[in-house]
Structure 1
Amino acid sequence: MRKLLSLAALIVPAAALAEAPPADPLGSPMWAHHAGKLFGGAPVMFDPQVKVDLPMLAENQHVLPVTVDARALGKVTRIVIFADLNPIPIAVEYTPLAAHAFVATRIKLDQRTPVRAAVLTADGVWHVAGAWVDAAGGGCSAPPLSRVRGDWADHLGELRGAVWHGADGARVRLSLRHPMDTGLVENIAAYNIEQVTIADAQGALLARMVVHGSVSEDPAFTLMLAPVTSGDLAVRARDTGGMEFSGSLSAASGPRIAAATLR
């Protein structure tokens, strides 16, 4: 019995082995909660090498530009953009497969909140940076303009985009027409783009995103891909209603506006 008790004392629950997240320099009341859900006990550090470019004040709480540049970290496997005090905290989960650790988009803010990027490197460490953003509020709980105008269905899934080539790769900007309903507006159910992928002419995936309802109406993304010199880039998206959208961008002669096809 003594041996069994000694062995039991040596068994440490897995949760106890998880690393506690570091103290939050922004002093957010929701940091510990989000860190526990997002990082699952993995090592976390606040890192100035993660550059998060955003305004200090949201002039329009429905459209806050956020740019994350984590190229200084080397090999990155995942980037998560989230706002601590939003009712839908996570906006984008980005996997740069054959792409640089760079993503820009626009999100909604429901109140004053920290906006952050969490970047997972190949060694299993999360690198976090961000800042407080002042906002009037209501960005997640007001109907999108296309709902107010009533023309959202006429343009659903329309794709626009272009490619610019540089010495270190191709900068791709694309946008999709979609109301991106949060489900927080009375009588309007949640309905949003939930996945976007970019592949090369041979079908190999270059980048993948999981998108949430806190991304702005008509979501737009800017990515930095590895050098692409020939063929078209295939853009595909799926929304929570099961609709799938696809289009192509010329990788050889950009910039060019892309025509969308709906299937």
Structure 2
Amino acid sequence: MAAALAWLPRARADQPAVRGIDRTEGDSLGTLQWPDLRREFIGEGAVAFSDRVRVRVPETADDPLNVPVMVDARGLAADGVRIRLIRVVVDRNPIRHVVDFEPLRSLPVLSLRLKLEQASPVRALVQAEDGAWHVAGAWVQAAGGGCTVAGSSRTDGSWSRTLNQVRARLFDNVIEGSRRLRVQVMHPMDTGLVAGIPAFHVERLALLDAAGQPWWRLALREPVSENPSLGFELPLSLSGPLRLRGQDNNGNPIDAVLTA
């Protein structure tokens, strides 16, 4: 999957205008990190700051180890933009890359919790099928330290008894026309920034239907919170048994059957 995500074609110079777009090259959030972020995570592709992508975060992070974030790119999809990838990054984290989400046949909506080292913008970089990037973000105030302290399961040693166990639940009528899937994977999600504890995190997940076809794929990085709690919006047409498969960066498998 990493190889597939690495191929990012450039946008066409004649790409059509999309409603809600600011095509200026300046950073809508005004941080000094934006030029580096753009070079690292977007490259030379066309970039537009868009109000058709929503990033929902708390104004202040009471717990920097568990900051809730929701990215909703349905506004772009409603304008006819086909979405290839949703990338979440944090400007001022020591590890800025959080997740890469390929919606595939699910809705372009993702919720998660992440670690925040200090007050920072949280950004969604949304890549369309034509290669263009649509960017949105929001500031979160935080006392900090979320990336450089151990989580509770690492501290008390309980992580080894529950490693890669999966909890899941489906909800109806949360967003009209879809079903919400909440998934939790038990894992310490160590950043590697705590003395004596190497990086250890869930690396990839995919939701498969009964035919083995993926409905979404997710690549996770160290800043995702301990025991990742993830939310997805699935079409009502999805039925039958579902399977969550993946692994962590040490090769430990994740495999669970979910009932739709």
Superposition pairs of residues 206-225 of structure 1, within 5 angstroms: 206-225=215-234
The one-letter code matched in structure 2 to 1:174 is V
Say whether 1:235 aligns with 2:240: no
Q: Which SS does the other structure have where 1:147 is aligned?
A: helix
Superposition pairs of residues 132-211 of structure 1, within 5 angstroms: 132-166=139-173, 168-211=177-220
CA-to-aligned-CA distance 1:169-214 (integer Å, 9 cap, x gap): 3211100000000000000000000101001111111000000000
Picking from 9, 30, 35, the partner of 1:32 is 35
Superposition pairs of residues 56-135 of structure 1, within 5 angstroms: 56-74=59-77, 75-135=82-142
CA-to-aligned-CA distance 1:4-26 (integer Å, 9 cap, x gap): xxxxxxxxxxxxxx9x9811121
Q: Which SS does the other structure have where 1:143 is aligned?
A: coil
Q: Which SS does the other structure have where 1:86 is aligned?
A: coil
The alpha-carbon deviation at position 229 of structure 1 amounts to 4.5
Contact preservation (8 Å) 1:109, 1:135: yes
Between 121-130 and 46-55, the greater mean CA deviation after superposition: 121-130
Contact preservation (8 Å) 1:163, 1:249: no
Picking from 43, 47, 50, the partner of 1:47 is 50
Superposition pairs of residues 252-263 of structure 1, within 5 angstroms: none
CA-to-aligned-CA distance 1:207-253 (integer Å, 9 cap, x gap): 000000000000011011223443111001200111001112111xx
Q: What is the distance in 2 between the residues matched to 1:203 and 1:123? A: 27
- Structure 1 runs, 4 residues or longer, greater than 4 Å off: none
Q: What is the distance in 1 between the residues matched to 2:159 and 2:58? A: 29
Structure 1 unaligned segments of length 5 or more: list them: 1-17, 252-263
Q: What is the distance in 2 between the residues matched to 1:141 and 1:147? A: 13
The one-letter code matched in structure 1 to 2:35 is A
Say how many residue pairs are matched: 235
The alpha-carbon deviation at position 165 of structure 1 amounts to 3.6
The alpha-carbon deviation at position 157 of structure 1 amounts to 0.9
Q: What is the distance in 2 between the residues matched to 1:188 and 1:36? A: 30
Q: What is the distance in 2 between the residues matched to 1:183 and 1:52? A: 27
Q: What is the distance in 2 between the residues matched to 1:124 and 1:168? A: 28
**Structure-1-length-normalised TM-score:** 0.86
Structure 2 unaligned segments of length 5 or more: list them: 1-12, 14-22
Q: What is the distance in 2 between the residues matched to 1:147 and 1:64? A: 19
RMSD over equivalenced CA pairs, Å: 1.8
Q: What is the distance in 1 between the residues matched to 2:239 and 2:153? A: 36
> Could you say if the C-alpha distance between residues 116 and 229 of structure 1 is closer, same or farther in structure 2, counting changes exceeding 3 Å?
closer
Q: Which SS does the other structure have where 2:37 is aligned?
A: helix
Q: Which SS does the other structure have where 1:235 is aligned?
A: strand
Q: What is the distance in 2 between the residues matched to 1:181 and 1:228? A: 37
The one-letter code matched in structure 1 to 2:156 is R
Contact preservation (8 Å) 1:39, 1:126: yes
The one-letter code matched in structure 2 to 1:46 is F
**Structure-2-length-normalised TM-score:** 0.86
> Could you say if the C-alpha distance between residues 25 and 161 of structure 1 is closer, same or farther in structure 2, counting changes exceeding 3 Å?
same
The one-letter code matched in structure 1 to 2:157 is G
Highest Rg: 1 or 2?
1
